Amino acid sequence: MDREKARIRLEHWLKHAEEHALEYQAFSKTLHEMGFKKAGDAIMRLSEITKESCKSIQEALEGLKEE
């Protein structure tokens, strides 16, 4: 795999991860509104974990530029 293909894949993953984080956040709010606090809290943690994974993907993209 060359650098360009790696960049495209990472950008694709980043976009999807960001979208998922937003979806998880919205679903967490819905669960809280339905009275499912424990479930809503768990999904909010999932959103935060996903946001952290976005940082790792971004770091990988930066690493492609440096090497």
- Give the C-alpha distances (Å, rounded to integers) separating 14 from 20, 36, 38: 10, 29, 28
| Residue 56 three-state SS | helix
The residue whose two tokens read 């974990």 is: 49
Number of Cβ atoms within 10 Å of the Cβ of 37: 10
Q: What is the pTM of this model?
A: 0.86
Query: What DSSP character marks residue 1?
Result: -
Selection from 23, 15, 24 nearest residue 61 by Cα: 15
Sequential pLDDT tens for the chain (67 residues): 899 999 999 999 999 999 999 999 999 999 999 999 999 999 999 999 999 999 999 999 999 987 6
Which pLDDT score, from 0 to 100, does residue 1 have? Answer: 85
